[in-house]
Chains A and B, each alone.
Chain A
Amino acid sequence: MGRILLVGRLALRDLRRRPVEAALLLLAVLAATTTLTLGLVLRDSAAAPYENTRALTAGPDVVMSARTTGQLAAYGDAAGVTARSGPFPVATSTLATAGQTVDVLVIGRDTVDAPVDRPQVTDGGWVRDGGMVVEAAFATAYGLTAGDQVTLGGRAFEVAGVAVTAASAPFPATTCLGEIPCLHGVAPAGADLPPGMLRNPGLVWLTSADAGRLGVVSYVLNLRLEDPDLAATFIGSPDAPRVALSTEIRTDATEVAGDSQILLMIGAWLLGLLAVASLSVLVGGRMAEQTRRVGLLKAVGGTPGVVAAVLLTEYLLVALVAAAAGLGIGAFTAPLLADAGAGLLGSAGTPALSIPVIGTVTGVALAVAVLATAVPAWRAARSSTVAALADAARPPRRSGWLIQASARLPVPLLLSLRVTARRPRRALLAVAGIAVTVGGVYVALILDGFLSKPFAAGYTVAQVETLRRVLLLWTVILLVLAGVNAIVITLATVLDNRHTAALARALGATPRDVTAALSGAQILPALAGAVLGIFPGGYLLFEAIMGITGGDGDRATPPSAWQLITVVVMTALIVAALTAIPAHLGAHRPVTDSLRAETA
């Protein structure tokens, strides 16, 4: 009891003594937990609107299609079928509205009423002669509302209404019903499509008579099954009709939410890595100051376990607060990114935090804290008590060749190289942090370029907007965290080098030399990190994203050379600007102060 009190007290007091560092720590972990929460919440909520729509419209378990009704007849009465609607005639046509033309799939349905698939009208009414109903996402994409005049196969029609269905994925992922080939996404340039193939078709309903006049090419039959798994047995039987399972439709319907979620999850991983890098530097930098504290605790009888607990508890507290705040912010912002689109009923609304999400986010935050602190805490706990009491700082390492190589360089560059060489592990962390950030920016550039092309990935304008928002959020958080990282590393370097810097100045270097050196020590790793972040970092990251999403990376163009050069140069400039402040402050401390601080 007393020991727990003590550990908690020491952790809290230490955090309070260093509010800036505590805030930076919190920010680093918070960025990762927020993104992770968003990713997880969106994963949970992605499927909800489809399931909702399916329940409200009596969606089918399976949609079968064939050229003749005869081919379908046997299936309507097959064992295990509990309900059916259709067969309904299917035609194809071209819809023209306000100067645009677009391919459409047409289903002839005289009434909405049916045991299976009852599209829900969200605007206007159901079909009538000369009046068509447009699938909701398609209507949104082309700005169609009830009362609009359009032509279909050269004949004038009025939009009688707009409706939502679970028997097809919303536009532009429209499920290709009937034995009609269609192409989603961009057609290969200059390639002529095979005759009869539809390109990014939309879905509309007409009366059977109107559909018949367009030329029926196929029939669809909607079935509900006793056991949805039965659908598998319908596939692959000889002369089987074409089958679309509800699970496939759902996959297509939730693709955008799924894609956002994948982006966020990858973002969360990147941010998690950055957070570990930030934390390691902060913890490492503070370990130096903490050594004496550790020695003292040990001298008065703290066991290695207690010492490790004191050191870990601080970071675990920060991680817990960050997890709670990340869960809150993530749940709050998720609806902005979880736009279900017009094609489904019931937007994602406020995706709720589930116990597994809370558990995962908290677990990851704690893991980040443990990962970053375990090694230094363990080392401190095991260190010699006397040495810890006698001396505060970990003796810096020396990489002899770097120091030798730098001997002939101008003063600031020489000092920078020496500063870098003193702490090779920290320099590596700096390189890794920048590489992760630049890798993320590289991918963001590719995806942004990809999304700029109309209908590029088969997304609607609204969907592109959603993905863009996710991408923007991603980039902003990544950059903020990278900035925090750069400042943290410079601070640690300044603290570490105050003695050397003071000596250098005592021996005649100007404060400007020292500022340049301290900030130069950050720019060198930043440049290395930027280059590595583009290749192999960004390249591999993009391949990984394509691998996970099943996307076709060949359709994306890599960023142009000038974009990449800009990224590298900007990275160096931003790092220089960010680090100049702490470096400047460090360099201008009175020499005697710094020399005295060392012995205090």
Chain B
Amino acid sequence: MSTTTGTSLVRASGLRKEYGRGTGLLRAVDGVDLDVERGETVAVMGPSGCGKSTLLHLLGGLDRPSGGEVWLDGARIDGLGEKALARLRRSAVGFVFQSFHLMEELTAVENVELSALLAGRSPRESRRRAAELLDRVGLGSRAGALPSELSGGQRQRVAVARALVNEPAVVLADEPTGNLDSVATLDVLQLFDDLHRAGQTLIIVTHDARIAATADRLLTMRDGVIVDETRLTGGSTGRLGALAGLED
């Protein structure tokens, strides 16, 4: 796992995150080594509280590690300042959260163009890209709707579009279907599958074995440590067949 191949896009070594101190010390992530290749889809599973979200936050520069290294696209990011991290988050990383985290006061298209505007793109270009992405996630006709006017699945698709707007090197998704019913889950899964085929690097944290089955690689965590790693053959071809059972 800790082999340093030149092509890896995301790399972590000896990564640790601790909360509290003394007797209350909690090692949420406890020495993780990880390499993710460009274009690879990695699923992370494990029991609640084992440190999956924490790991994802560390990899995407949302949080700073207590120790170890994080590399993204050849650059080390664990020591970056708040401003540099912000720049990184809007250019190299796209986040998708379980609870969508859309701006309630902005319409779908405005939510999508948010990151583009933050990245300094012109209003016109941002709007064009946002509209395009909404089309791609199948929401071209709902561009002017507020999040409160959209269903959960639609909201998550808006969030995915937002994550893609700056063409990030990697998309990090934390239980993207955790709040969705099975039909909406299928929708979002189809979207991730499309991304996978298009060569987008993806790291998905999930509780759902059927999602994990679509990945190239499945990591299992327990108590802050990666305890198992499985290469999946079905994943690379992007078969959604494993999900057939969802439609009941």
Residues of A within 8 A of B (CB): 1-3, 5-6, 9-10, 13-14, 16-17, 292-293, 295-306, 382, 384-386, 389
Contacts and interface: CB of A to CB of B under 8 A. Distances in A.
A386 B83 CA distance: 15
Contacts of A6: 114, 117-118
B180 to A, nearest CB: 16
B232 interface: no
Interface residues of B, number: 33
A293 B122 contact: no
Given A297-B118, A300-B95, A303-B86, 20 more contacts: A1-B122, A1-B123, A2-B120, A2-B121, A2-B126, A3-B120, A5-B123, A6-B114, A9-B106, A10-B106, A13-B106, A17-B104, A296-B103, A298-B89, A300-B90, A300-B115, A301-B91, A302-B90, A304-B83, A385-B63
5 tightest Cβ-Cβ pairs between the two chains A and B: A301-B90, A13-B105, A2-B117, A303-B86, A6-B117
Contacts of B120: 2-3
Consensus secondary structure, chain A interface: helix
B121 to A, nearest CB: 6
Nearest to A14: B105
A298 B57 contact: no
B117 A386 contact: no
B110 interface: yes
Given A17-B105, A386-B57, A304 B86 contact: yes
A293 B120 CA distance: 20
22 contacts: A2-B126, A5-B117, A5-B123, A6-B114, A6-B118, A13-B105, A13-B106, A16-B105, A297-B118, A298-B86, A300-B89, A300-B90, A300-B114, A301-B119, A301-B166, A303-B87, A304-B83, A304-B86, A382-B82, A386-B63, A389-B62, A389-B101
Contact of B101 (A2, A5, A14, A299): A299
B196 interface: no
- Of A295, A298, A305, A385, most buried by chain B (CB within 10 Å of CB) is A385
Interface in B137-180: 162, 166
B192 interface: no
B116 interface: yes
A390 to B, nearest CB: 9
Given A300-B89, A301-B86, A303-B87, A389 B118 contact: no
Consensus secondary structure, chain B interface: helix
Nearest to A295: B101
A572 to B, nearest CB: 39
Interface of B: 57, 62-63, 82-83, 86-91, 95, 97, 101-106, 110, 114-123, 126, 162, 166
A304 B118 CA distance: 12
A306 B118 contact: yes
Contacts of A10: 103, 105-106
Contacts of B126: 2
B34 to A, nearest CB: 19
A442 B142 CA distance: 60
A300 B172 CA distance: 12
Nearest to B126: A2
Nearest to A303: B86
Contacts of A304: 82-83, 86
Nearest to A300: B115
Contact of B95 (A9, A299, A382): A299
Contacts of A302: 86, 90, 118
A385 B58 CA distance: 11
A293 to B, nearest CB: 7
Contacts of A9: 106, 110
Given A9-B110, A13-B105, A385 B62 contact: yes
A283 to B, nearest CB: 18
Contacts of B87: 301, 303
A301 B89 contact: yes
- Of B83, B90, B97, B118, most buried by chain A (CB within 10 Å of CB) is B118
B27 to A, nearest CB: 16
A243 B91 CA distance: 79
Contacts of B82: 303-304, 382
Nearest to A301: B90
Contact of A301 (B105, B115, B122): B115
A293 B63 CA distance: 17
Nearest to B101: A296
Nearest to B88: A301
Nearest to B119: A301
Contacts of B95: 299-300
A482 to B, nearest CB: 31
A170 B96 CA distance: 77
Contacts of A305: 83
Contacts of B117: 2-3, 5-6
Contacts of B57: 386
B62 A299 contact: yes
Contacts of A292: 101
A476 B25 CA distance: 57
A150 B45 CA distance: 106
- Of A292, A299, A306, most buried by chain B (CB within 10 Å of CB) is A299
B228 to A, nearest CB: 26
A526 to B, nearest CB: 35
Contacts of B86: 298, 301-304, 306
Contacts of B123: 1-2, 5
